[in-house]
């Protein structure tokens, strides 16, 4: 594969996002609530005159709610089907190169992780779960469909 991966931490777990899907990494300081939005939609934010739908990755994975009490959150900005999203993560760590292709996960991870998993990918820092950005954005509703 030899693709670049963005290593992030979500709910205390180090995982990889395909770097090709990530436009930028930002600090979000203002969230505008969206009435009647899906529970994993944390709100809206603006970035360079662009509106971002902000996704709480913990909620999308059914692992609780991200701590936003300090007012600043790290986010990975992605585009999917012409819409821009910011994925709230605990920590943005590094960009590394994948070694090989993803392989099936051979352990139970829980329904949230299983829904977003694209397999395990080997990196110079060890194996990481490769996360499907679209599945994170879709949230739990995608599983019910």
CATH of the domain at 65: 2.40.50.180
Are residues 139 and 84 both part of a single domain?
no
User: Quick one: 28 and 75 in the same domain?
Assistant: yes
Cα dihedral 57/131/135/115 (nearest 10): -100
Indicate if 86 and 118 belong to the same structural domain: no
Which of 72, 91, 110 is at the close of a domain? 91
Residues 118 and 135 in one domain: yes
* DSSP-assigned beta bridge partners for residue 136: none
Say what the pTM is: 0.90
If asked whether residues 31 and 67 sit together in one domain, one would say yes
Q: Are residues 31 and 83 in the same domain?
A: yes
**Residue 31 and residue 79 share a domain:** yes
The pLDDT value given to residue 68 = 67
Q: Looking at the structure, do residues 99 and 121 belong to the same domain, yes or no?
A: yes
d(CA 91, CA 7): 9
Domains of the chain: total: 2
Distance between CA atoms of 95 and 34, rounded to whole angstroms?
Answer: 32
The CA-atom distances, in angstroms, between 70 and each of 1, 13, 29, 39, 65 are 38, 21, 9, 20, 14
- Write down which residue in 68, 91, 114 finishes a domain: 91
Ranges of the chain whose pLDDT falls below 50: 144-145
In sequence order, which residues have a C-beta less than 8 Å from that of residue 125 and are 6 or more positions away?
7, 94, 96
Residue 144: per-residue pLDDT: 47
Last residue of a domain, one of 73, 91, 109: 91
Q: Note the pLDDT of residue 42.
A: 92
Per-residue confidence (pLDDT) for residue 145, from 0 to 100: 47
78: containing domain: 22-91
Same domain, 126 and 72: no
């Amino acid at each position: 594969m030899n693709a670049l991966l963005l290593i992030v931490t979500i709910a205390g777990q180090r995982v990889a996002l395909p770097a090709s899907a990530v436009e930028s990494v930002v600090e979000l300081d203002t969230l505008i609530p969206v009435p009647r939005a899906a529970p994993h939609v944390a709100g809206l934010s603006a970035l360079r005159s662009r509106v971002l739908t902000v996704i709480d990755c913990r909620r999308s994975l059914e692992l609780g709610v991200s701590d936003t009490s300090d007012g600043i959150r790290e986010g990975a900005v992605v585009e999917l089907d012409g819409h821009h999203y910011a994925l709230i993560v605990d920590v943005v760590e590094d960009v590394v190169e994948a070694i090989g292709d993803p392989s099936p996960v051979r352990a139970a991870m829980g329904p949230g992780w299983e829904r977003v998993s694209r397999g395990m990918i080997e990196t110079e820092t060890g194996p990481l779960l490769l996360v499907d950005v679209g599945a994170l954005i879709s949230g739990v509703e995608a599983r019910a469909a």
